[in-house]
Structure 1
Amino acid sequence: MTSLVFLIPIALFLGGLGLVAFLWSLKSGQYEDMDGAAQRILIDDDELEGRKDGR
C-alpha cells in the first residue's frame, strides 16, 4: 500500500510529461506533411543526387 503513494504520482507525472511532449510536437508541425514522407521513400537516391548537382 505504501508503494502506491510513490507509484501513483510518478505515473501521473510521466503521463503529463507525455501529454506535454505530444502537444509540443503538434505545435511544432511534426504532423503537417504526412504524405511527403510516404512519397519520399519511393524516390531513388540517384535521382536526389542528380537534383542536387543541377542535372
Structure 2
Amino acid sequence: MSVIYILIIVSLCVAVVFLAVFFLAVKNGQFEDDETPAIRMLFNDDVKNKQE
C-alpha cells in the first residue's frame, strides 16, 4: 500500500515539472506565432532563388 503513495507523490512531482516547463515556454514566446507554420507551404520560394 505504501507503494501507491510513493507513486502518487512521484506522479505529482512529474506533473509539476511539466507544468513549470510549459509556463516557461509560454513566457519565452514559444507559442506566439501559431499561424505562420500552417500557411508557410503556400508561400512562393522562387523569389529567393531568383535573387541569387
Regarding TM over 0.5, the answer is: yes
What's the counterpart of residue 13 of structure 2? 13
What's the counterpart of residue 51 of structure 1? 48
> Is there any run of 5+ residues in structure 2 with no aligned partner, and where?
none
TM, length-normalised to structure 1 = 0.73
Relative to structure 1, is the Cα distance of residues 31 and 52 closer, same or farther in structure 2, using a 3 angstrom cutoff? farther
TM, length-normalised to structure 2 = 0.76
Q: Report the identity percentage.
A: 27
Give the 4+ runs in structure 1 shifted more than 6 A.
none
Tell me by how many angstroms 1:42 deviates: 2.8
